Amino acid sequence: MDDALEIPSSDLKNVPTAEEPQDDQNSDDEEGGLDWTKLLPASARPVIPKRGEKEFEPRGAGGTNLQQHVLDRSRSAMFETLKSQRTISSKSVSYGTWYPSLGRTHVTTARGIHFSNMGHSAPRSVLGEDGVSKVQKRLELLPEEALYLIERGSLFCWYDRGTEPRIPDLPKDVDGTPMSVQQAFTEMIGRDGLTLEKFQVYSYLKRLGYVVTRTDPPDSYYPIPSDTGETSTHGHINLPVFTSIYSFLTSSISNVLRIVMGSMNWWKPIRIGRLWCASNKSYASLYRSLRFMPAGHNIPLNTRQPSEPTSPYKLFFNLYKPSTPFKKSAPPPPDFQIVVVNARTTPMPTLQELTNLFDQVPESPLPAPRPRRNLQPEGKEKSSPSETPTTPLKADVKAVSILQRFFLWFSPQTPKTEPTEPVRRINPFMALKTGKKIVIIAAVDTGNISFFRFGQGEFTEWSMA
Partner 1 sequence: MSLITPSSRGKGSGTQQKAGGRRAENNRIYAHPLPLLFVDPPKTRMTSVLGLLGLSLTRVENPHCEGVFDPITRSVWVSKPEHSTILWRRGFFGKGDLSRSEPSWLARQINIKKNGGKQLTSEEVREKRRAERKQFKLDRAKAIAAVAEEAEKIFAEEGRVIAPALSGPNIPSAATWKPSPKPQPTEAETPEASEEPIPLVDLEPLEDVEHLQLTLQEAFFLLWNLDCLTVLDPDTLSPMPIKEIWLAFQRSELPPSISICVSGEDLQFDNPFLVNYVVYHHYRSLGWVIKGGIKFCVDYLLYKRGPVFAHAELALVVLPVYEDPADQKASNLDLQNSSPFAWSWLSTINRVNSQVQKTLVLVYVTIPARSRVPLKALQSPSCFSYYSIREVVLRRFIPARMRD
Q: Which residues pair with 176 in a beta bridge?
A: 160
Closest distance of CB 383 from partner 1, Å? 21
Q: Binders of partner 1 among 328-347, rule CB under 8 A?
A: 336, 343, 346-347
What number of chain residues touch partner 1 (CB under 8 A)?
99
In 37-156, which ranges are continuous DSSP H helix? Answer: 65-83, 143-151
Q: Give Cβ neighbours of residue 24 (< 8 Å, ≥ 6 apart).
A: none
Cα separation, 32 vs 3, whole angstroms? 9
Determine contact, residues 222/120, Cβ cutoff 8 Å. Answer: yes
Say whether residue 19 binds partner 1 (CB under 8 A).
no
Residue among 440, 432, 422, 428 at smallest CA distance from 457: 432
Q: Binders of partner 1 among 402-441, rule CB under 8 A?
A: 403-404, 407-408, 411, 429, 432-435, 440
Q: Which of 306, 309, 365, 447 binds partner 1 (CB under 8 A)?
A: 306
Closest distance of CB 123 from partner 1, Å? 34
Q: Which of 111, 124, 291, 416 binds partner 1 (CB under 8 A)?
A: 291
Indicate the burial class of 144 (C-beta count within 10 angstroms; 0-12, 13-18, 19 or more): buried
Cα separation, 38 vs 40, whole angstroms? 5
CB nearer to partner 1: give 127 or 430.
430
Q: How many CB atoms lie within 10 A of CB 147?
A: 26
Q: Binders of partner 1 among 444-463, rule CB under 8 A?
A: 445, 450-460, 462-463
Say whether residue 132 binds partner 1 (CB under 8 A).
no
Determine contact, residues 38/16, Cβ cutoff 8 Å. Answer: yes
Q: How many CB atoms lie within 10 A of CB 14?
A: 13
CB nearer to partner 1: give 286 or 368.
286
Q: Binders of partner 1 among 179-218, rule CB under 8 A?
A: 204-205, 208-210
Stretch that binds partner 1, among 77-85, 92-100, 350-358, 383-391 (CB under 8 A): 350-358
Closest distance of CB 113 from partner 1, Å? 17
Q: Binders of partner 1 among 21-60, rule CB under 8 A?
A: 24, 27, 29-30, 46-49, 53-57, 59
CB nearer to partner 1: give 137 or 372.
372
CB nearer to partner 1: give 32 or 128.
32
Q: Binders of partner 1 among 83-112, rule CB under 8 A?
A: none
Residue at 228: amino acid letter: T
Residues 368-407, one symbol each (x = binds partner 1 by CB under 8 A, - = not), give ---------------------------------x-xx--x
By DSSP bridging, strand 176-178 and strand 133-141 are unpaired
Residue among 109, 145, 197 at smallest CA distance from 445: 197
What angle (nearest 5°) sits at the alpha carbon of residue 439, between those of residues 434 and 442?
115
Half-sphere exposure of 423 (CA within 13 A, CB side): 3
CB nearer to partner 1: give 181 or 272.
272
Closest distance of CB 76 from partner 1, Å? 14
